[in-house]
Amino acid sequence: MFKKILFATSATNACDHAARVAFDMAQRYNAHIDVFHVIGVPTRGFSQVVVDLTTGEQVVLDDNYRDLVKEEIRAYYDHQIQKKTDYAIEVAIGEAHREILRLARHTQPDMIVMGGSTGAAGAYASRRNITGSTFQRVAKAAHCPVMVINRPAGSFWGGFSNIVFGTDFSEAADAAFEFSFNLAKTFDCEFHILHALDITGCQINAFQSQDDIDDRIRKAHQQIRFRYVRKMEGFKNFSAEVWEGIPFVEIVKYAREKHADLIVMAHHTRKDGDSEDAIGSIVEQVILRANCPVISINRSIAK
């Protein structure tokens, strides 16, 4: 299921957690891993003078410089590259998200693995979608699942065995279900379906009666049975829950309670034509906070 992994990295400690999972996954599942680094952005169109994204310096890009960067990346990941690791190191210049998507179109990986935010936290993180603009852009347009590991705690990994699938019953969530259920079947995992019922209206005094909440919970359970459980013929190792509260908090709590080693969610679940900021804020908050890797699936994978 994972024969080709594209690991997009800045080759700095911001991506160390993602590297740990990406290389572990490559070894565990005998996958080829492309370690991909975007050196920088040309100072002007087609210029060979590039602003190095890591150092901020202007450099003249020639083959020697490319080889030097590749060798630095190889040395940086030396302790993670095992004898049996089937890997290649690729570098490019340009906008990071565009180059990652370009390579992904070319190599057709089964998964893109990325690091998350480089330090967004607290109130700022709660107001803004800041998992990292490169992630946002890649995740919106990628034609394969995108895995993000934001916290170090999410990188103490060890393979797929316990998967939480968070759903809002959208079309993209159906695609996320197909992917996550396939994963659960293939790797004989525990599979947990969660719908987090949004009752945050009470924070602005829009209280719902408990009967209303219980009705919504009951309907959500029906939806789970109708949309997912009936497609899981013969698969017994699963649970399905509806938890009311703040959706991203409930998903992170549920994953922690289940000791999940993966959360799968859809993002960009709204219909086409949404604006740039329409990427799902819930999945972004889950990515920022989860104690395990998070895979996001977009609508294009559903098509």
Partner 1 sequence: MTKKILIIEDDAAVADYLQTFFEDNGYTAFTAISAQGGYELAKKEQPDLITLDIELPDEWGPRFYRKLTADKALKNIPVIVISGLSGNKYAVTKAVASLSKPFDRDELLKIVKETIG
Residue with tokens 């859809």: 266
Among positions 86, 121, 152, 225, the unique one binding partner 1 when judged by CB under 8 A: 152
- Amino acid, single-letter form, for residue 303: K
Of residues 168 and 261, the one with the C-beta less far from partner 1: 261
Of residues 69 and 260, the one with the C-beta less far from partner 1: 260
Q: Does 119 bind partner 1 (CB under 8 A)?
A: no
Among positions 117, 155, 167, 180, the unique one binding partner 1 when judged by CB under 8 A: 155
Among positions 157, 177, 181, 248, the unique one binding partner 1 when judged by CB under 8 A: 157
For residue 71, the tally of other CB atoms under 10 A from its CB is 11
Rounded to a whole number of angstroms, the minimum distance from the CB of residue 79 to partner 1 is 12
HSE-up of residue 64 (Cα within 13 Å, Cβ side): 2
Residue with tokens 């990941």: 77
Among positions 9, 129, 134, 162, the unique one binding partner 1 when judged by CB under 8 A: 162
Of residues 150 and 298, the one with the C-beta less far from partner 1: 150
Q: Which stretch binds partner 1 (CB under 8 A): 32-40, 66-74, 96-104, 155-163?
A: 155-163
Contact criterion met (CB below 8 Å) for 164 and 264: yes
Q: At what angle do helices 247-257 and 281-289 cross, to 10 degrees?
A: 40
Q: Does 191 bind partner 1 (CB under 8 A)?
A: no
Q: Which stretch binds partner 1 (CB under 8 A): 58-66, 101-109, 117-125, 253-261?
A: 253-261
Among positions 54, 161, 281, 300, the unique one binding partner 1 when judged by CB under 8 A: 161
HSE-up of residue 103 (Cα within 13 Å, Cβ side): 28
Termini Cα distance of the chain = 19
In which region does residue 281 sit, left (phi positive, over 0), alpha (psi from -120 to 50) or beta (all else)? alpha
Residue 209: helix, strand or coil by DSSP?
A: coil
Q: Does 195 bind partner 1 (CB under 8 A)?
A: no
Q: Does 80 bind partner 1 (CB under 8 A)?
A: no
Q: Which stretch binds partner 1 (CB under 8 A): 81-89, 125-133, 151-159, 205-213?
A: 151-159
- Amino acid, single-letter form, for residue 49: V
Q: Does 151 bind partner 1 (CB under 8 A)?
A: yes
HSE-up of residue 300 (Cα within 13 Å, Cβ side): 9
Q: Does 291 bind partner 1 (CB under 8 A)?
A: yes
Q: Which stretch binds partner 1 (CB under 8 A): 102-110, 132-140, 147-155, 192-200?
A: 147-155
Return the exposure string of 81-112: e unless at least 16 CB atoms fall within 10 Å of the residue's CB, then b: beeebebebbbbbebbbebbbebbeeeebebb
Binding region for partner 1 (CB under 8 A): 17, 151-153, 155-158, 161-162, 256, 259, 261, 291
